[in-house]
Copies of this chain bind each other. A is one copy, B any other.
Amino acid sequence: MPTTDGSSPAAASVLAVLGVGVVAADSPVLRADDAAATRGDGCFEGCRLRRGPDGANAVDKLDAHLARMTRSADALAIPFDERAWRRLIAEAAAAWNSPDEAAVKLLLSRGTPTSGPTGFVLITPLSAESRRLRATGLKVITLARGLESGAFADAPWLLGGVKTLSYAVNMAAFREAERRGADDVVFLSSDGLVLEAPTASVVWSVGRTLFTTPTGATGILGGTTQQLLFERAATAGWTTAERLVTLDELQAADVIWLVSSVRGPVDVVELDGKPRTRHPDLDSEIRRLCGF
């Protein structure tokens, strides 16, 4: 029975542990000396799960997520057995018994000194907040990230482009946004350029050109949904480009979206206190291209 916001009643979460299989979702599964907990030393992916027309649950763009997780694990020098993970993901997805879309977290840790790497797949209902923000659009503030836009060149130990578990600053940025009455954040480099959101890519349009910020020396994480969007947009008549821009240049865009795998692309309705006109036709087109 749908609830007032259109979703089904919250489904039970599903947890599947690497080397073990599906266990009760509230089971304690990590030891106190697991490097995920003690050092944020591991990597993850956040994905979207949907029930397909054939009735089977499937993870959106799973190949792209596993490719990025392989790169993250390589950068961290943590073994990653993609075949074992595909089996674990399939097992977890089969155990998700709700028709509603869900969030899937893949988490790989360096583990413990005696056990080696640990990992799990956790499937949880889409949050009510994600559902709400898709509808309202995002009030966004910019925050300094303290790093120059070229800080990650020739410095692989800074883990640029690696989706590590060390997200304390990203979470603190969200709390700062909440404190200021905003929903999300765009980070700026110390040289005043637009980087990324704490858990999303920044995409903007000017006419029929879609822009995003470049990976590489910026340390920005390449977004799987942003990449899918740009591939599909290119075949739908859009020009696409990567660009380092100032906040003023970003403000001059027609539409700005924060794009992530679970929440999808959501348009920015206010940036640093300045209201932005919504463009429902453009927004619908971009959401559809992203599969939302």
A residues at B contact (CB < 8 Å): 13, 15, 17, 25-42, 44, 75-77, 105, 107, 109-110, 114, 120, 122, 124, 143-148, 151-152, 155-159, 162, 164-173, 175-176, 190, 219
Smallest CB separation, A24 vs chain B (Å): 10
Most chain B CB neighbours (cut-off 10 Å) among A30, A35, A175: A30
Given contacts A146-B158, A147-B147, A172-B76, contact A167 B29 (CB under 8 A): no
Contacting pair A32 B37 (CB below 8 A): no
Complex: A76 Cα to B173 Cα, angstroms: 11
Given contacts A31-B26, A31-B29, A107-B37, contact A155 B165 (CB under 8 A): no
Given contacts A26-B31, A31-B29, A155-B146, contact A167 B41 (CB under 8 A): yes
Smallest CB separation, A113 vs chain B (Å): 9
Complex: A5 Cα to B175 Cα, angstroms: 48
Contacting pair A165 B107 (CB below 8 A): no
Given contacts A155-B144, A176-B156, contact A171 B41 (CB under 8 A): yes
Across the interface, A38 reaches (CB within 8 A) one of B31, B105, B162, B219, namely: B105
Contacting pair A175 B157 (CB below 8 A): yes
Smallest CB separation, A210 vs chain B (Å): 29
Q: Which residues of B contact A167 (CB under 8 A)?
A: 38-41, 166
Q: Which residue of B lies closest to A16 (CB)?
A: B32
Complex: A13 Cα to B228 Cα, angstroms: 48
Across the interface, A40 reaches (CB within 8 A) one of B40, B105, B110, B145, namely: B40
Q: Which residue of B lies closest to A127 (CB)?
A: B113
Contacting pair A32 B15 (CB below 8 A): yes
